[in-house]
Amino acid sequence: MPLPYQTFEQICVGLATRPEVWAKMRDEQLYIPLLPFLEHPYPIVAARLIDGLLAAGIPRAEAERVPLRGLVVFALAGPMRWGWGGYAVSWIEAGFPADDEIASALEGIALDKRFPQRVRHRAFATAKRWRRAQAGTVQAAELHDHPPTRQKVRLVLLPGLDGKGRLLRGFRESIGPHAATILVSYPADRALDYTALEALVRSRLPRRKPFVLLAESFSGPIAIAIAASRPIGLRGLILACSFARNPIPTLASLAPLIRTLPIRWAPAALLAWPTLGRFATPALLSELRETLSQVPASVIAARLRAVLEVDVSALLAQVGVPILYLRACEDRLVPRSTSGQFVAVPRTRIAEIEGPHFLLQACPAATSEEVVRFLREIAAV
């Protein structure tokens, strides 16, 4: 590995002498000035970072807020990844803590032929090791909490328009004792279409374990297409405030104008009106604001255009597993009539819950109760 362009001390001093830049980095709005740290081995950075920043004149309370995780995600998946992604892979190999989002970014590098082959192989191996470790942890927990004679179904969660799935935390905690959840997050730096996202989801499905797909809103067409192909292990399909085709056909003609929408600058309170309505809380508004700040407006716009153009309704007849459709009685985005797309599909049950479009977020207890009931119905068959 070549010598770093800047010494560790030079990087720290450079940050301390640019307070306006430091404030943006501290608040995770900017990562570029932190990238030079990646040229130094992770163990050294982890051991010396706080002391180095203190010596440069940054207060301890500020120094302890350096967003290294955000830096690694940015290096792996951001617009400068081809220059810095390899360094981030080295950090993770050296012990930087990974998570589902980082593992997904590593898998994205493994598939990107613009990276050197050796980097792609290392990224793939690193992601694979982490996922194996996670699977082992889940399996150990199941053996401890449940008799080994009964296999717990995997609940594969496909997120809404944001693609991150962080807003599903409350639902995952509520469903936790009843099913092992697997969250599939989508790349935040690429505007992938439904076909590409379907391929990504398929690569993350359990190979030898029974599972149920739960798709929130935007992800419904992906889950329907997968269920129609009847993959081995699929036991059921759950659609939360979702659709098989554009739920508001009158908006299809506006698709070319979506890219001009000021999504990035829209206040969270305004976005909360159609998604949360009267169910909005300060905590949900904060999570919504944080989530949207981490997804480029261009990606959100591309996904909105995809919604207006999608139609997988012809595939519904090929779905061979039971379907649960969760309908929110106060959904301001997906009309009540949308659930009519599923009424004629065999073995479909529609459950209406008092809540908004963000049903899983605003009503985690009520939705998890319906999901658990569905899982029990499947198990009884």
User: What digits encode the pLDDT tens for the residues 138-157?
Assistant: 454 444 444 433 456 889 99
- Evaluate if residue 251 carries a pLDDT over 70: no
Ordered structural domains, the chain, with CATH? 1-66 (no CATH), 89-150 (no CATH), 152-380 (3.40.50.1820)
Please tell me what DSSP assigns to residue 96: P
The rounded distance, in Å, linking the Cα atoms of 272 and 284 is: 9
Q: What is the pTM of this model?
A: 0.60
The rounded distance, in Å, linking the Cα atoms of 236 and 155 is: 10
The rounded distance, in Å, linking the Cα atoms of 349 and 233 is: 21
Q: Is 352 helix (H, G, I), strand (E, B) or coil?
A: strand
- Evaluate if residue 228 carries a pLDDT over 60: yes
If we measure between CA atoms, which residue out of 37, 6, 34, 2 comes closest to residue 18?
34
**Beta-ladder partners of 126:** none
pLDDT of residue 265: 44
Residues 242, 216: contact at Cβ < 8 Å? yes
Predicted confidence (pLDDT) per residue in 309-337, tens digit: 899 999 999 999 999 999 999 999 998 88
**Of the ranges 184-198, 245-259, 329-343, which one carries the lowest mean pLDDT score?**
245-259
Please list the alpha-helical segments (H only) found in the chain: 8-16, 19-26, 42-55, 60-63, 68-77, 81-93, 100-111, 117-145, 169-175, 194-204, 220-228, 268-275, 282-293, 297-309, 340-343, 359-362, 364-380
Which residues are CB-contacts of 332 (< 8 A; sequence separation ≥ 6)?
A: 273, 274, 275, 277, 356, 357
**What are residue 323's phi and psi, to 5 degrees?**
-125, 135
Overall average pLDDT of the 85-112 stretch: 89
Residues 50, 58: contact at Cβ < 8 Å? no
- Evaluate if residue 52 carries a pLDDT over 60: yes
